[in-house]
Amino acid sequence: MTKLLGISGSLRKASFNTGLLNAAKAVAPDGVEFETATLHGIPLYDGDVEAESGVPAAATALKQKIIAADGVILFTPEYNNSIPGVFKNAIDWLSRPPADIRKVFGGRPFALAGASSGNFGTILSQNAWLSVMRTLGAQLWSGKRLMVPKAATLFDDAGQLTDDDTRERLRGFVEAFAAHVATTKAS
């Protein structure tokens, strides 16, 4: 059994990226356990808070989900042509203390996917993630990228994916990443 974790980088209830995450779970192939996570409850990073009370419970819980996963998909929005602050903030907490970086990120397969209302999907956000993932030592999968443009026309008001073509692209993306993760896990 291959364990994948999908993390939505948006806090909005009807988020396109949370909708894409939920649709990915629904199309995951047999032999894949697909868990989902959000960033709710993770406070802004503050070194003083870390020094006084350690890593917050919400960040620790997400860290444990990543450690338990064989591979992780970041469902990233694109805000102002880059990574959403709330998502980068969560990754900053997950890299604390520095001794945990290897355990959480080191060599673990990560993939990027995202939906936005713009014409280019989340290409700039995904590009911005490259240096972050390299710095943390994650194994960033380059087999496929999934960028969903014009998302407002593909999701309903509740954030559910309604477009069959996008669903099939998503299915292919998840299947290919799961196969990559299974191969990596076996070696």
**Nearest residue to 87 (alpha-carbon basis) of 126, 144, 139, 47:** 126
Instruction: Region of 52 please: left (phi>0), alpha (psi -120 to 50) or beta.
Output: alpha
pLDDT in tens, 33-45: 999 999 999 999 9
d(CA 140, CA 27): 22
Domain layout of the chain by residue ranges: 2-186
Model pTM above 0.95: yes
The structure tokens 């802004």 sit at 44
- pLDDT at residue 186, rounded to an integer: 77
Q: For residue range 114-123, what is the model confidence (pLDDT) as tens digits?
A: 999 999 999 9
pLDDT digits (tens, 9 = 90+) for 65-113: 999 999 999 999 999 999 999 999 999 999 999 999 999 999 999 999 9
- CATH number (3.40.50.300, 3.30.1380.20, 3.40.50.360, 3.10.50.40) of 2-186 reads 3.40.50.360
Tokens found for residue 151: 């998302």
How is residue 52 written in tokens? 């006084």
- Report pLDDT digits (tens) over 111-167: 999 999 999 999 999 999 999 999 999 999 999 889 999 999 999 999 999 999 999
CA 136-26-34 angle, 5° bins: 35
